[in-house]
Amino acid sequence: MVIVGAGQAGLQTAEALRSGGFEGPITLLGDEPHGPYHRPPLSKAWLAGEMDAAQLVMRAPEMLAKKGIELRTDAAVQAIDRAHKTVQLADGSRLPYSGLVLATGATPRALPLPGADAAGVLPLRSRADASAIAERMAGCVEKNLPVVVIGGGFIGLEVAATARKKGARVTVLEAAPRLLGRVLAPVLSDWYAELHRSHGVELVFGAQIAAIDTDANGVRGVKLADGQVLPAGLVVVGIGVSANDALALQAGLACDRGIVVDACGRTSDPHIVAAGDCTARRLPDGTLLRLESVQNATEQGKSAAAALLGQDRPFTATPWFWSDQYDRKLQMAGLSTGADRWAVRGDMAAGTGFSVYHFKDGRLIAVDSVNAAKDHLQARKLLDAGVSPSTEQAADGGVDLGSLLSR
């Protein structure tokens, strides 16, 4: 079995193949110099310098060796030959496979603007990216130069919170009228805007960026369409990602802004499966769902391994995500897109712990919890079971929603 991509999804698939009884060789190919590592801390503890490299490692080399998983780092795959069932590596060598896993991840979208390739204009995806941002951020704190974050999504806001913690001046430039618009309902976007403002972050909505202003040291500022220039010693760009589906496309696999897979991770080739950020899952109604999360990578990895072993293990659990900003943990269960009503449980104004329950046509479809882990875990159970409280029950802290599950 050959796995292209040594991130969360690739590692999970390798381990699930082994625990599922596959006894042949497993080769895990990664194009970074490191073996599998945890990405979520990159915008938080790692960026803040509160974690050492050993804590970032997902599986020690000895552990992989013990499981008979051969890890090859700096090993980029250049092409897939489906007719001969081989992959071609950048060094020209070829590797045969009986089953192939594509776990190639995603790439940050670049700003298509003049000056965007200047030193100090950085994306955040890899360990190397995060280390480069940390170094430049330290320089900004020392010289009192502002940090400008482009994009008020997960990356942008987690970086903004970390930069504030390190003492940097921070401005977030968001093109849309609100933060986290891809995932949050407006009521929570507003709450997060207040949270960031209360920590001293300047927020600009409807931002239109014209260019990155540069000098011999790299970035000097961000020029807006109205001519205003915001000084900056570091610009972090977090404007979303694109699925890495180029290899699959080149090999003639079905792709649509991601490698198209079924609920079991199968692609349009019976010998090839895919998992994680690189995929777009075809739903029963024909639409495509792209999820970018740790849960999606691990669950699709398990499903993809099962598919290669001839079993059906559809990933149908409720999607969940989380984001840590300052001392607030946001946990999201389900997908709130299309919600027509919501109910708040807990004291949102005090912000000490609350959840927003999203309803569509009278049924619960998602729950976003802030510092309310119990609500989140219960929400996942309710959504998995298809059990819906009424909006009144959701809003009433005196009603035990867990009791609905046992009825």
Ligand X SMILES: NC(=O)c1ccc[n+]([C@@H]2O[C@H](COP(=O)([O-])OP(=O)(O)OC[C@H]3O[C@@H](n4cnc5c(N)ncnc54)[C@H](O)[C@@H]3O)[C@@H](O)[C@H]2O)c1
Applying CB under 6 A, which residues contact ligand X? 43, 150-156, 158, 173-176, 181-182, 207, 209, 238-241, 292, 321-323
What minimum distance in Å lies between the beta carbon of 182 and ligand X? Answer: 5
Whichever of 192 and 321 has its CB closer to ligand X, that residue is 321
Report the nearest approach of ligand X to the CB of residue 114 (Å). 14
Residue 263 CB, shortest distance to ligand X, in Å, is 20
- CB–CB of 236/150 below 8 Å? yes
Q: Report how far residue 320's alpha carbon sits from residue 332's, in angstroms, rounded to the nearest whole number.
A: 5
Instruction: Compute CA 170 distance to the chain's CA centroid, rounded to the nearest angstrom.
Output: 22
For 331, the 3-state DSSP assignment is: strand
- Cβ within 8 Å of residue 297, ≥6 positions away: 7, 8, 9, 12, 103, 275, 276, 277
Q: Specify burial of residue 227 (Cβ count, 10 A radius: 0-12, 13-18, 19+).
A: exposed
Q: How are beta strands 100-102 and 272-274 bridged, if at all?
A: parallel
Work out how close the CB of 144 gets to ligand X at its nearest, in angstroms, rounded to a whole number: 25
Q: How many helices (H) and strands (E) does the chain have?
A: 10, 26
Tokens at 249, concatenated: 């496309």
Comparison of 6 and 159: residue with beta carbon closer to ligand X? 159
Cβ distance 47 to 132 under 8 Å?
A: no
Considering beta carbons, is residue 20 or 240 the nearer one to ligand X?
Answer: 240
CB of 407 to ligand X, least distance (A): 33
| Matching residue, tokens 């927020």 | 203
**Shortest Cβ distance from residue 317 to ligand X (Å)?**
17
| Nearest to ligand X of 69, 179 (CB atom) | 179
Could you tell me which residues are beta bridge partners of residue 339? none
- Residue, CB closest to ligand X: 153
Provide the minimum distance between the beta carbon of 76 and ligand X in the complex, in angstroms, as a whole number: 21
Report the residue number, 26 or 261, with the smaller CB distance to ligand X: 261
Task: Decide whether 23 or 327 has the Cβ nearer to ligand X.
Answer: 327
Of 178 and 313, which CB lies nearer to ligand X in the complex structure? Answer: 178
Q: Token pair 């090999």 is at which residue?
A: 251
Nearer to ligand X, 99 or 152 (CB): 152
Residue found by looking up tokens 């599998």 in the block: 36
CA-to-CA separations, 269 to 85, 253, 261, 266, 298, in angstroms, rounded: 11, 7, 10, 8, 21
Q: Least distance to ligand X from the beta carbon of 365, Å?
A: 19
Least gap, CB of 106 to ligand X (angstroms): 6
- Which CB sits closer to ligand X, 331 or 393? 331
CA dihedral over 62, 63, 66, 71, signed as positive or negative: negative
Give 67: exposed, middle or buried? Use CB within 10 Å, 0-12, 13-18, 19+.
Answer: middle
